[in-house]
Structure 1
Amino acid sequence: MIHRSVFSRSAAVAGLVFAGLAAPALAAPIDTSQSEVKATFKQFNVPVTGNFKKFAGDVQFNPAKPAETKATLSVDTSSYDLGDPEYNKEVAGKDWFDSKNHPKATFTITGVTGTGNNLQATGDLTIRGIKKPLKFPVKIQTAGGKHTLTGKTQVKRLDYKVGADGEWGDTSLVADEVVIDFKLVMPAK
């Protein structure tokens, strides 16, 4: 049963979308070799974490003008890795991400408010063709010629119809809440 829980985690994929939270004034591609997007859900109240292995995007970020931040992130829903090929196959299947019909989850940053490291990002997350608004805190560090954006947010998998049918719709088996953590690294220009 744990393998199906892993699918709930795919809802966290929506969290991947968060990866596109910030970037330099000119659109800069996310360095996927140094970046990560994780989704954590609870199955029988036990946390289960998986990583999205394939994602891409770009960010426009100017530290002097964070309100002008724009970003897009596209995550390959079939790349959600729970550490077991059978679980991974299940989560990509029709009941969870339905990767055949919905191969990508996307996140678009539409605005950033705040100053310094007290920033709030707003945007839209689309999973399985369902688009919902999001708002979450982000932190940006600049060092070694790179910007690193980190953040964490929570989404509800059932809002995106992830694991909504059959036994997986029972939130006592797999919780509705999915926590998405991301770290996005891009060149500072």
Structure 2
Amino acid sequence: MNIPIFTIIILTVSVSTLSGKERSYDFKDQKNVNNIIFQMDAPLESINGSGDGISGLVTFDPEKPEDTKGKIILNASSLHVGNPVLKEHMLGKDWLDVKKYPTISFTLNKLHNLKKEGIHYLADAQGKMNICNVTLDMKIPVKITYLKDMLEKRNRVKGDLLVLRSKFSVKRDDFNIQTGEKLEKVANQIDISLNVAGASPL
């Protein structure tokens, strides 16, 4: 019996798709719920703010969570603080220079010390942080929550959710942001809290 070659190809692709559970999760949130929160605690002033321009793709397989990889991107111009003058300075050319460096990103290459607690996976995420065109190797703690069939409750379409949570710090002088300047008002250490959900529609 002769089987057309295109039929064989279709069958092969279908079997491969069904046998693997790795899926891609899109972190571009149309509801603008995804966000980061940052805090800088200097001797004279404490600066608190947030950013909601989150996007990126992460691949995840619940049977092989150690193979998780991807990239989370922040639109730098979405960073916000309550004081409009401070915000203008923060986004301007002397500090983040968002017109020249429009994005901040973290590329996840590998998970270390992975362990499962209920529906959560705890690990140290090894990757590369890029701020103001300076890229550094970083390891940050991460909690990954896989929510099978839960996308419908959030976006009214069938699919899965992947939630990433992390708290970590960066230092602005590591990224050549006004190194050693104005430390009495703008702390060198920036404490960051990340809470984002990615969608994988069926």
Q: Does TM, normalized by the shorter one, top 0.5? A: yes
Q: Is 1:177 the counterpart of 2:177 in the alignment?
A: no
| Identity of matched residues, % | 24
Tell me the residue number matched to 1:151: 166
Distance, in Å, in 2 between the alignment partners of 1:45 and 1:152 is 24
Q: Structure 1, unaligned stretches of length 5 or more?
A: 1-23
Aligned to 2:115: 115
- What is the deviation of 1:46? 4.8
Q: In terms of mean alpha carbon deviation, does 142-151 or 75-84 score higher?
A: 142-151
Cα distance in 1 for partners of 2:60, 2:33 equals 18
- Residues 80 and 64 from structure 1, CA distance in 2 versus in 1: closer, same or farther, beyond 3 angstroms? same
What is the deviation of 1:120? 1.0
- Gapped regions of structure 2 (runs ≥ 5): 1-20, 151-159
Closer, same or farther: CA 63–34 of 1 in aligned 2, 3 Å? farther
Q: How far does residue 31 in structure 1 lie from its aligned partner after superposition?
A: 4.6
Which position in structure 2 is the counterpart of 1:79? Answer: 78
Q: TM-score, normalised by structure 2?
A: 0.73
Distance in 1 of aligned mates of 2:44 and 2:193? 19
Contact 2:26/2:200, CA 8 A, preserved across alignment: no
CA distance in 2, matches of 1:73, 1:108: 7
How far the C-alpha of 1:97 sits from its partner, in A, is 0.3
- The CA deviation string for residues 44-65 of structure 1, in whole angstroms up to 9 with x for no partner, is 2654221113121111112221
Would you identify which runs of 4 or more consecutive aligned residues in structure 1 move more than 6 Å?
A: none
**Counterpart of 1:100?**
99
- Secondary structure (helix, strand or coil) at the match of 1:174 reads coil
1:137 correspondence with 2:137:
no
Deviates further, 27-36 or 88-97: 27-36
Give the match for residue 156 of structure 2: none
User: Aligned in 2, Cα 1:61/1:46: closer, same or farther, shift over 3 Å?
Assistant: farther
Bigger Cα Rg:
2
Q: Aligned-pair distance for 1:176?
A: 1.0
Give the aligned CA root-mean-square deviation in angstroms: 2.0
Q: Cα deviations across residues 80-120 of structure 1 (Å, max 9, x unaligned)?
A: 10023222211111111011211111211011121213311
The question of 1:28 aligning with 2:21 is answered no
Q: Report the CA distance between 1:157 and its aligned residue.
A: 0.8
> 132, 141, 158: which one pairs with 1:128?
132
**Helix, strand or coil: the match of 1:88?**
helix
Summarize deviations over 1:140-176 as a string: whole Å, max 9, x none: 2234342211011111111112233xxx714333221
Relative to the length of structure 1, the TM-score reads 0.77
| Paired residues, number | 163
Query: Per the alignment, in what secondary structure is the counterpart of residue 90 of structure 1?
Result: helix
